[in-house]
Amino acid sequence: MGTRLGSRHRSFGCLLYLTEMIGAEMPKAIWNGQTLAESEKIETVEGNIYFPEETVNRSFLKPSSTSSSCPWKGMARYYTVLVDGQENPDAAWYYPDPKPAAKTVKHHVAFWRGVEIVTT
């Protein structure tokens, strides 16, 4: 198995961190035994790995009504992750219209709340 990466997201404080560096390997987001996203082309902001939306398996995502605001990134929206009948509420987030300083995360999705980010 690859290297396990970790991140923590506090939606209102925008305090995020990464427990290990990625290196040159391909990150994968996994929850409940399923790969939610996998890509060599990622964006890392405040330690969180953002996957391009075209590399995310949307069949595992259900829109949530949750939102939060970051002073420099803008308004975040959330998805509930749904795998094999189990839900992980608000375990994925994205910025539909990020502020200019965070433009690199537009069309990207990040994960937390038990979703493991590993490299292969």
Query: What does the pLDDT look like over 49-76, one tens digit per residue?
Result: 999 999 999 999 999 999 999 999 999 9
Q: Which domains, ranges and CATH numbers included, belong to the chain?
A: 4-119 (2.170.150.40)
CA distance 7 to 48: 6
Note the pLDDT of residue 82.
98
pLDDT tier for residue 47 given thresholds of 50, 70 and 90: very high
What does the pLDDT look like over 67-106, one tens digit per residue?
999 999 999 999 999 999 999 999 999 999 999 999 999 9
> pTM for the full model?
0.81
More confident residue, 5 or 16: 5
Question: 91: closest CA among 47, 37, 41?
Answer: 37
